[in-house]
Amino acid sequence: MSDNKIYFHDTTFRDGAQSLWAMYVNYGMWEAIGPLLEQADFTSVEMLSVYPKFMLDWQKEAPLKREELIEKTFQKTPLMIPTLGMMGTLSDYWTCAMLKFYYQFVQKVYKGKVKKALLICCTRDEIERELPILFPLFRSVGIEPIPYITYGIREWLTDEYYGSVTKKIADKHKPVLFVLKDVDGLLTPERARTLIPAMIKNANGIPIELHTHGMSGFNEAVAVEAMKQGIRRFHTCIPPLASGSSHLNIFNVCHNARVLGLEPCINEEPLREASERLFKIAKEEDLPIGAPKLYDERVYKHEVPGGVISTLENQLKVLGMVDQMDEVLAEIPSIIKELGRPLMITPHSQFIVTQATMNVAMGRWEQCIDGMIEYAMGIYGVEDTGLANMDQNLKDKLLSDPRAKALEKKWTNYLERRETETIEDIKVQCGMENASDEDLFMKIQGITEDDLKLVSTLPPPKTYSF
């Protein structure tokens, strides 16, 4: 790979849509845009994981219909999916058997075209307690795990720390890629100037990609500095799903690369058509248009990730609280401090944003979600989260909650069966000893008999004409 060439990973319909459209991407959008992405020569294209219940309940689309379309569309471009690691979902942890079955089925649906899966690192003690399990597990089903090393601003998150994390993973697991994940959009050109060389020095020659959101307004300048420091691979989106709380605008990255004398390895012509189509779709659906953000110091206080902010606004509208957005954002820094300053990324960001909304609506800590109790128990990590610095009064309050014993029992039970449970055990638990893989998958994903009856009544998925 020439050091003069710039490569691109597309996350338009995953992190772009999550950041700006609250994950609203339907079948017709993939039908309109997917073939153009396939023509563009991306190193990979990212999409949502396979969530049939979500697609049915929210998008009113038949389970797996979108996946079948994507599989047929992409013949040369590798596909990538996000993962929650051993969490499986935001509300539960998955055993090794459950994880392996899930991704074996994903590969079956996509006919082996899923080549990468992201694994978030240094936020929940994942490096020590999950990566040794997940690297061989994913590789056994033909998926290469990609460590996303999460950027944050904490006194312990020094350049030396990030260099040591990079080296530890490189030496032990030998990934094909690293990703520097600036999910909160906090990275500045000045910090990139020292951080990136520290990571490159310790990466054993493994390429590093940059994943940065535009929450602070610095991300396009950060990308330029990253190029100067040797980064040659970038996560980008196509307008109108670029900029704002979303990712780098691919056209701007290409422009700046050329100014620096670098060569973007991308076919921009189909992407410009894709952009035109997306603007028309956004107008038809009354969806937001991504635009560069003005600098806002609050971003460095609340640290809400780009992928969470649009969902928060959408949920506040549903709750009739959209006029209290500023109050919720103002409450978040207090919760971060009380918890010991965990990084604002899944699951912490979702839990903290939810708790902040409840604190504003009901009074501070009058009610709490299970995730807060589990956090205090150490389920979501100890070292990486800063749990040792958690406010002791709040910790005592959460651990004395009547639900704490049940949650502790659930966690202990999970640890006992994490590596011993088999897929046969899961079938017995579900009462589906003779079920097909698809039936078992649907059961695990929460698809009910009533859901299946609903599928037969659904109209054809919405499409768009151009």
Tell me: the pLDDT tens digits for 64-112? Answer: 999 999 999 999 999 999 998 898 777 788 999 999 999 999 999 999 9
Tell me: the pLDDT tens digits for 328-340? Answer: 999 999 999 999 9
* Separation between Cα atoms, residue 213 and residue 306, nearest integer Å: 6
* Separation between Cα atoms, residue 108 and residue 101, nearest integer Å: 10
Q: Where does the pLDDT of residue 2 fall: very low under 50, low under 70, confident under 90, or very high at 90 and above?
A: low
Structure tokens at 141: 């089903």
Return the percentage of the chain with pLDDT > 90, whole number: 86
**For position 1, what pLDDT does the model report?**
45
List CB contacts of 143: < 8 A, sequence separation 6 or more: 103, 107, 114, 115, 116, 117
* Separation between Cα atoms, residue 21 and residue 357, nearest integer Å: 20
- Other CB atoms closer than 10 Å to residue 375's CB: what's the count? 27
* Separation between Cα atoms, residue 156 and residue 386, nearest integer Å: 10
The β-bridge relationship of strands 5-10 and 208-212 is unpaired
Write down all domains in the chain, each with its CATH number in brackets: 5-285 (3.20.20.70), 301-410 (1.10.472.90), 415-455 (no CATH)
Residue 354 has pLDDT above 50, yes or no: yes
Mean pLDDT of 129-153: 97
Residue 32 has pLDDT above 50, yes or no: yes
Residue 50 has pLDDT above 90, yes or no: no
List CB contacts of 7: < 8 A, sequence separation 6 or more: 1, 43, 232, 233, 234, 265, 266
Tell me: the pLDDT tens digits for 239-285? Answer: 999 999 999 999 999 999 999 999 999 999 999 999 999 999 999 99
* Separation between Cα atoms, residue 93 and residue 59, nearest integer Å: 26
Tell me: the pLDDT tens digits for 430-448? Answer: 899 989 999 999 998 999 9
HEC readout, the chain: CCCCEEEEEECHHHHHHHHHCCCCCCHHHHHHHHHHHHCCCCCEEECCCCCHHHHHHHHCCCCCHHHHHHHHHCCCCCEEECCCHHHCECCECCCHHHHHHHHHHHHHHCCCCEEEEEEEECCCCHHHHCHHHHHHHHHHCCCEEEEEEECCCCCCCCHHHHHHHHHHHHHHHCCCCEEEEECCCCCCHHHHHHHHHHHHHHCCCCCEEEEECCCCCCHHHHHHHHHHCCCCEEEEECCCCECCCCEEEHHHHHHHHHHCCCEECCCHHHHHHHHHHHHHHHHHHCCCCCCCCCCCCCHHHHCCCHHHHHHHHHHHHHCCCHHHHHHHHHHHHHHHHHCCCCCCCCCHHHHHHHHHHHHHHHCCCCCCCHHHHHHHHCCCCCCCCCHHHCCHHHHHHHHCCCCHHHHHHHHHHHHHHCCCCCHHHHHHHHCCCCCCHHHHHHHHCCCCHHHHHHHCCCCCCCCCCC
Round the average pLDDT of the chain to a whole number and report it: 94
Tell me: the pLDDT tens digits for 192-212? Answer: 999 999 999 999 999 999 999
Structure tokens at 59: 């998008």
Q: Are 98 and 444 in contact (CB under 8 A)?
A: yes
* Separation between Cα atoms, residue 171 and residue 182, nearest integer Å: 23
Return the percentage of the chain with pLDDT > 70, whole number: 100
